[in-house]
Amino acid sequence: MARDLLLAISSEPRARRLVQRLGLPLPLPQRLDRNDEAYEEQPLRDRRVLTLGTFRGELGRALAHVLVEAGASPVVATDTDVFDAPGEAWGRRPSAPDPESTERYDALVFDASELGGPEDLRALYDGFHAWVGRLRPCAHVVVVGRPPEEASSAAAAGARHGLDGFVRSLAKELGRRGTTANLVLCETGAESRLDGVLRFLLTERSAFVTAQPFVVKRLAKAPVAVPRTRPLEGKTALVTGAARGIGAATAARLAREGAKVLLLDRPDDDGPLAATAREVGGIPVLLDVTAPDAEAKLLAVAKEHGGFDVVVHNAGITRDKTLAKMKPEQWDLAVDVNLGAVVRLTDALVKQKALSAGARVVLLSSVSGLAGNVGQTNYAASKSGLVGYLRHLAPAVADRGITVNAIAPGFIETRLTDAMPVAIREAARRLSALGQGGQPGDVAEAITFLATPGSVGISGAVVRVCGGALVGA
Q: What is the mean pLDDT of the chain?
A: 94
Q: What is the pTM of this model?
A: 0.95
Percent of the chain scoring above 90 in pLDDT: 85
Q: What is the dihedral of CA 254, 256, 258, 260, to 10 degrees?
A: 50
Kindly tell me if the per-residue pLDDT of 46 is higher than 60.
yes
Other C-beta atoms lying within 10 Å of the C-beta of residue 251: 31
Name, in order, each residue with C-beta under 8 angstroms of 209's C-beta and a sequence gap of 6 or more.
180, 182, 201, 442, 446, 463, 464, 465
Domain boundaries, given as residue ranges, for the chain: 48-216, 236-465
232-249 residue pLDDT tens: 999 999 999 999 999 999
pLDDT reported for residue 21: 66
Mean pLDDT, rounded, for 68-91: 94
Residue among 187, 255, 192, 85 nearest 460 (CA): 187
Is the pLDDT at 11 greater than 90, yes or no?
no
Phi, psi (deg, nearest 5) at residue 176: -65, -20
Is it true that 48-216 and 236-465 share their CATH fold? yes
Q: What is the CATH number of domain 236-465?
A: 3.40.50.720
Cβ atoms of 335 and 388 closer than 8 Å = no
* Catalytic residue from among 39, 105, 125, 379: 379
- Residue 105 among the catalytic residues: no
- For the domain spanning 48-216, the CATH number is 3.40.50.720
CB 39 within 8 A of CB 231: yes
For residue range 167-223, list pLDDT tens digits in order: 999 999 999 999 999 999 999 999 999 999 999 999 999 999 999 999 999 999 999
Q: Give the pLDDT confidence score for residue 6 in this predicted structure.
A: 75
Q: Please state the length of the chain.
A: 473
